[in-house]
Structure 1
Amino acid sequence: MRQHEEEQVCNPSGNGYFGDILHLTRRRVLKGGLGAAVLGFLGLPALAPVPDAHAASLPPRPDFGGIGFHGIEPNTLANGLVDDVRLPPGYRYEVLFAWGDPIGIVGLEPGQPEFKWDASNSAEEQALQSGAHHDGMWFFPFPGAQAHERGLLCVNHEYVDQGLLFPDGTANWSLEKIRKSQNAHGVSIVEVRKNPRTGKWSLTRPSPFARRLTGNSPMKISGPAAGHRLLRTTADPRGDTVLGTLNNCASGHTPWGTYLTCEENWNGYFGSRVAGFDDARSSDQKRYGLSATGFGYRWHEFDERFELTANPNEPHRFGYVVEIDPFNPRSTPKKRTALGRLKHENAEVVVSKDGRVVVYTGDDERFEYIYKFVSKRKFDPKHRSANMDLLDEGTLYVARFNADGTGEWLELSPKNPALAGWSLAEICIRTRQAADTVGATKMDRPEWIAVHPFSKAVYCTLTNNNRRGTGNNPGPDAANPRGPNTYGHIVRWNEAGGDPAATTFSWDVFALAGDPAVDPASNINGDLYNSPDGLWFDPAGRLWIQTDATTEASSYRPGGVNANIGTNQMLCADPLTGETRRFLTGPRGCEVTGVTVTPDGKTMFVNIQHPGEDWVGSPTEVSDWPDRNARPRSATIVITRENGGVIGGL
């Protein structure tokens, strides 16, 4: 997502730079000086190039059997730069659900409202259609024998390309255009079904479960911050109800069958018409990246709710994990403030040894932090209703990665002496400042977090950080060993005692992404990739990696960072050996993001976001995926095997 590359750095704190403490150099970290020294302590394999490093490797599931396909070639300029999804032999894909497709609301004709190729659908129609820029998602199966062939698919719609959203692009701005833009955000909930005769998947239209949540849908604010003065507005003097969810990036799901959608770059939708606003910004506004122009959406020009001077508290009502019950279309989504206010990437949920619920989440911006929440009450597997507010009470922590390979979770609560005088509500609203205060480690854009299904080892993608080591910004440290970090890396940790609720951990670096021809520090064991983003373990323990590298055309030309890596892609890694194989390459200019499977593992859903973004070339070079029409569309695809086998398996 190009919005990640905004020019500002919002974290002015001095946290998390351990290079000066132990005088660690990048050379020592990469050549095993640190990794080999602490290998036995960590109980994890060291960096991929280090030999004999797998004595304490992760135990695979008995039916894992390794990766069951050969990696495919990258989609590079030298290989022709195909404007399509490519998969290994024996795999096939079909487009299931693209921007503008009707979701199947009861009372409408199955194909209505139909997508108009000139983008002339109204704001009202957009609210009944798939939103734009598909991102995180999850498949919720129906019970019983139909679990593998029928379910609800929840799909995030992260942001929009306003030049594609309207027939005349960004000209003639109006409130109607803003409403359509807002309605192209949010979440789609659709019913999907496999045809037992043809094996093809399609949406069920109409469906009583079909639902669109947009930038204007009512949501409840729950947890410690609900009702706080910083959440009160003229339209909502109680401070407990907000319209909409925005910039829904990655996601999560709970053991009780609810969907978690995460608000990421929500700051970019706000702005101000007041002269000199940027110079007069409050420290809160600066810390969260609020500015007069935002990302150029211009909503504040016609919708007073997004005017920062008129409504300074409205931004405090975004930046949360939102819980949705997909099986109850009448339910109101809840913004769970106990998980903190930041730019959430995904929300990885696991259950601790004593039954409490743990949620990991990263704050996706340069020099931001990794968090986890531990619920106060325990998960009740027998009574779904007893779990519906588990995420409102508990303890929020932020991570500190020590240079010796150890780490600790720093409590973000008034009990921490460093936060004396803070209320819990203030911590939940000013989470970044609280994390600054306790001394968390500044990371290279923490993105998706995934937990191994058996060992409970935790992996986190750090997509990139082109500011590390530049200007007055912090230089490399043990957990972020490159500066500038053009290609990104993956860090992992083991919680003490294998318990997700533990307050200490041991960590290492799983892989430093990139092309060794450009950056010799890159050490991927297998097929190359750039800027790891999406991350997910399948039920057998295979680690799937999705990428969000720059999509600028120049990056694919000789000498560019993607010249040998190609378009964004999806790979599969064996956590036992670190071997990585390329499974999917995307069309020009796309990001590959979001992945989920049916319970039998034989159907995989993947999202292709913003095909054609940032491509600069002749008209024949601009993506027209998937319809081969002049207007590209983000879409969810369905991947199956010709032999009917498990995706990724032998």
Structure 2
Amino acid sequence: MTPKPLTLFTAHDGRSARARVTCEYKCANACFHPAPNTSDGAYFGDIVSSLNRRGVLRGGAAAVLAVGAASALAACGADGGSTETSKAAAASDGTGTTFTAVAPNTDDAVRVPEGYEQSVVIRWGDPIFADAPAFDFDRQTAAAQERQFGYNNDFAALLPIEGQANTFLLVVNHEYTTGPHMFRGYDPKNPTDEQIAISMAAHGLTVVEVKGESGSGKLTPAFGRYNRRITANTEFLLTGPAAGSDFVKTAADPAGTKVFGTFANCAGGTTPWGTVLSGEENFHGYFANAQAVTDATAAARLKRYGFAEGASTNVWERTDKRFDLAQEPNEANRFGYVVEVDPWDAASVPVKHSAMGRLKHEGASIYVTADGAVVSYTGDDERFDYMYKFVSAKKVQSGTGASAMRHNMTILDEGTLYVAKLTGDHAAQIDGTGKLPAPQGFTGTGEWIPLLETGPDGKGTSKVDGMSAAEVAVFTRLAADRVGATKMDRPEDFEANPVTGKVYVALTNNDNRGKDGKAAADEANPRNLNKNGQVLELDDDHTGTRFSWSLLLVCGDPNAADTYYGGFDKSEVSPISCPDNLAFDQYGNLWISTDGNALKANDGLFAVVLDGDRRGETKQFLTVPKGAETCGPVVTESRVLVCVQHPGEEDDASADNPASHWPDGGTTQPRPSVVVAWKSGQGRIGV
């Protein structure tokens, strides 16, 4: 008899459209457990602050791109000076958003605007090496999966290959796997050894060459020399204050510097020296038997990161003891970092940067200041957790030579890690309803509080009383608790505007805000039982410690009183809910992908005007199939790419009863895929 494992999952209470099965495998039901942050840290509505309101520093960035990953930098003129004034003027009129908005829908298809086309670039299981077998859903093997495109693609980067026109490296994260949708007759409590091995091989990252074609925006995978799969078993180098500490030593790695694997990789970022960053997010769900750790301090640390009792979601501990905390209690401390991969060297060892802290990193977005300092922003994607930035001590070296690359690959190992503390300008007017406190909207100021300073050779200095540098690097959440950081509504992706330098943060939602009279709303998180999320705008002194902020969007039904679209006429916007990943186009418009749309429609990709009379205008460019999440947007002059994650992942569905047949149609199984959209005739996107 075929097992029916999905009877284990119960429906949501209507606040979010994310399926319970997605919550189980993606984040180990994080939102169905008490929030791990039980600290006494103040919500900023209770904070008395003397911060002075400051405008953004409008310094241009250093023009040092090795591979054209322009999103990593603020805009510069040819002479290195700022061109923000002229570019901002172009952005103010909404250039780049001239398309007919896609209507909300529940179709089992990708929908794009009239006059645009789209196609699949690569699907789960597609070969990325010439010797890899074609995908066969009913004959999967771990050996094949190690040579094929992984599962549940999230972040994407598209890097031009120098000297090869219309040819790129596509670098993609594979966040998690969902056994019931990958295998027929799957038993979640007793998967086979081969199913476990396939799951481990389907995680990590893929690097694959893709080629464009004349007269079309299509991209086709090729068996290029850079192609690579990184999995849950790939060797990584751990750097920074955590490396070599007692917190990360295991039987397999008594030196505490070599980590095998990466998983739960969510969003990421590109660097101006040509590498790709990936954030290890919901790593807690991969480890079993937290109750077996009896040391009180170690147990409290596990609890702060959400580790649970009993078996893990994927049951990897059954074939690999490192995932059993009863046998390897330190293994969990080796995950939760920002990962850096050099996609231009398929033999290179990827790095985990502990100087940037250990938390549930949604990603790591790079901004480069006029003098070459590197600033990385990241969110800790959990209810009531924090926003962070890392400011490098080293400066970027230009060029693509070996010496410059060696230098630049160490930039994220030396610098200062900060956490954010915010206060509102109208705190007394915030009542949890989302009511606009003043004509100018929700506004305030903030401070970056230093946690850890890391110098050469990974030697660190703690900025938190009572904690060593290694403790701050490994147990960053506890360090942030101690300094009173501001508790936010699931801070996910950060992106810096390449035109203005302003920084944007997607705060996805928080159903627990104000629940049972606790954790009341504040000005940056202005609604109790927040099911739709908001987007925060920072005017940051990038290498300094002060910023001002405002809410660009308070998402949800435009007809509802508790929503705000930057002051724009809400009758003329596309409804947006649960903002997740962010990107910018060349004109300075913000693009937002969504996860868990609470408005009873499929998730999608939206363009938002940030300046001028149209500030706040929000238009839906694309929708993904039912059950899917929109991830990893890349917006170029002529193409838009999205990762379509977990299509058909609904609670009454499984591989034995699929809810979607996208992308191949007919009676086929749904397959996570990367999609590219372009304007018919290859015109400019949105123009």
Tell me, what secondary structure is at the counterpart of 1:200?
A: strand
1:20 is displaced (CA, Å) by 4.3
Q: Does structure 2 retain, via aligned residues, the 8 Å contact 1:397–1:409?
A: yes
- Equivalent residue for 1:371? 388
Instruction: With a CA cutoff of 8 Å and minimum separation of 6, indicate the structure with the bigger relative contact order.
Output: 2
Q: Does structure 2 retain, via aligned residues, the 8 Å contact 1:451–1:459?
A: yes
Q: Does structure 2 retain, via aligned residues, the 8 Å contact 1:85–1:585?
A: yes
1:365 is displaced (CA, Å) by 0.4
1:74 aligns with 2:103: yes
1:418 is displaced (CA, Å) by 6.6
- Equivalent residue for 1:487? 532
1:349 and 1:280 mapped to 2: Cα distance? 34
1:209 is displaced (CA, Å) by 1.0
2:306 and 2:517 mapped to 1: Cα distance? 18
Question: Which of the residues 508, 520, 543 maps onto 2:561?
Answer: 520
- Structure 2 counterpart of 1:411, one-letter code: P
1:176 is displaced (CA, Å) by 2.2
- Equivalent residue for 2:133? 113
- Equivalent residue for 1:306? 323
TM-aligned CA distance change 1:72 to 1:197, over 3 Å: closer
Q: Does structure 2 retain, via aligned residues, the 8 Å contact 1:59–1:455?
A: no
Q: Does structure 1 retain, via aligned residues, the 8 Å contact 2:584–2:635?
A: no
Question: Which of the residues 245, 249, 265 maps onto 1:232?
Answer: 249
- Equivalent residue for 2:505? 460
1:279 is displaced (CA, Å) by 10
1:141 aligns with 2:166: no
1:488 and 1:627 mapped to 2: Cα distance? 33
1:615 is displaced (CA, Å) by 5.2
CA deviations 1:517-560 (Å, max 9, x no partner) are 5x42112341111100011112221110110015xxxxxxxxxx
Greater CA drift, 311-320 or 464-473 = 464-473
Question: Which of the residues 506, 509, 525 maps onto 2:548?
Answer: 506
Q: Does structure 2 retain, via aligned residues, the 8 Å contact 1:418–1:437?
A: no
- Equivalent residue for 1:555? none
TM-aligned CA distance change 1:101 to 1:477, over 3 Å: same
Tell me, what secondary structure is at the counterpart of 1:410?
A: strand
CA deviations 1:135-159 (Å, max 9, x no partner) are 0010111114x35x10111000000
1:537 aligns with 2:584: yes
- Structure 1 counterpart of 2:644, one-letter code: I
- Equivalent residue for 1:50? none
- Structure 1 counterpart of 2:663, one-letter code: P
Tell me, what secondary structure is at the counterpart of 1:231?
A: coil
Tell me, what secondary structure is at the counterpart of 2:452?
A: coil
1:61 is displaced (CA, Å) by 3.8
Question: Which of the residues 28, 40, 65 maps onto 1:14?
Answer: 40
- Equivalent residue for 1:167? 184
- Equivalent residue for 1:84? 109
1:377 is displaced (CA, Å) by 0.8
1:421 and 1:273 mapped to 2: Cα distance? 25
Question: Which of the residues 52, 74, 97 maps onto 2:122?
Answer: 97
2:582 and 2:218 mapped to 1: Cα distance? 26
2:54 and 2:557 mapped to 1: Cα distance? 30
TM-aligned CA distance change 1:218 to 1:41, over 3 Å: closer
TM-aligned CA distance change 1:351 to 1:153, over 3 Å: same
- Superposed, 1:169-568 pairs within 5 Å as 169-170=186-187, 172-196=190-214, 200-205=218-223, 207-272=224-289, 282-293=299-310, 296-382=313-399, 383-404=404-425, 405-413=444-452, 419-471=464-516, 473-496=518-541, 500-517=542-559, 519-524=560-565, 525=568, 526-549=573-596, 561-563=598-600, 566-568=601-603
TM-aligned CA distance change 1:59 to 1:522, over 3 Å: farther
1:22 is displaced (CA, Å) by 7.5
1:417 and 1:121 mapped to 2: Cα distance? 48
Greater CA drift, 465-474 or 502-511 = 465-474
1:274 and 1:461 mapped to 2: Cα distance? 34
Q: Does structure 2 retain, via aligned residues, the 8 Å contact 1:174–1:302?
A: no
Q: Does structure 1 retain, via aligned residues, the 8 Å contact 2:44–2:422?
A: no
1:626 aligns with 2:663: yes
- Equivalent residue for 1:26? none
Gaps of 5+ in 2: 1-21, 58-83, 426-443, 454-459
Greater CA drift, 279-288 or 354-363 = 279-288
- Structure 2 counterpart of 1:567, one-letter code: N
Q: Does structure 1 retain, via aligned residues, the 8 Å contact 2:102–2:113?
A: no
Tell me, what secondary structure is at the counterpart of 2:592?
A: strand
TM-aligned CA distance change 1:135 to 1:58, over 3 Å: farther
What is the TM-score of this pair, normalised by structure 2?
A: 0.81
1:472 is displaced (CA, Å) by 6.2
Greater CA drift, 409-418 or 370-379 = 409-418
What is the TM-score of this pair, normalised by structure 1?
A: 0.86
- Superposed, 1:572-611 pairs within 5 Å as 572-576=607-611, 577-597=615-635, 601-611=637-647
1:424 and 1:273 mapped to 2: Cα distance? 25
- Structure 2 counterpart of 1:541, one-letter code: G
Tell me, what secondary structure is at the counterpart of 1:332?
A: coil
CA deviations 1:328-380 (Å, max 9, x no partner) are 00100000111100000111101123321110000000000000001111111
Tell me, what secondary structure is at the counterpart of 1:402?
A: strand
TM-aligned CA distance change 1:542 to 1:293, over 3 Å: farther
Q: Does structure 2 retain, via aligned residues, the 8 Å contact 1:343–1:363?
A: yes
Tell me, what secondary structure is at the counterpart of 1:535?
A: strand
1:446 and 1:170 mapped to 2: Cα distance? 34
Alignment coverage as a number of residue pairs: 591
TM-aligned CA distance change 1:42 to 1:389, over 3 Å: closer
TM-aligned CA distance change 1:635 to 1:417, over 3 Å: closer
CA deviations 1:186-229 (Å, max 9, x no partner) are 00000000123665321112x21110000011111012211111
- Structure 1 counterpart of 2:594, one-letter code: T
1:300 and 1:342 mapped to 2: Cα distance? 22
1:7 is displaced (CA, Å) by 2.0
TM-aligned CA distance change 1:41 to 1:504, over 3 Å: closer
1:455 and 1:375 mapped to 2: Cα distance? 21
CA deviations 1:562-582 (Å, max 9, x no partner) are 24xx21010000111111111
TM-aligned CA distance change 1:198 to 1:587, over 3 Å: closer
- Equivalent residue for 1:34? none
Percent identity over paired residues: 41
Tell me, what secondary structure is at the counterpart of 2:467?
A: coil
Gaps of 5+ in 1: 24-37, 45-56, 551-560
RMSD value, Cα? 2.7
- Structure 1 counterpart of 2:103, one-letter code: P
1:442 and 1:197 mapped to 2: Cα distance? 49
Tell me, what secondary structure is at the counterpart of 1:268?
A: helix
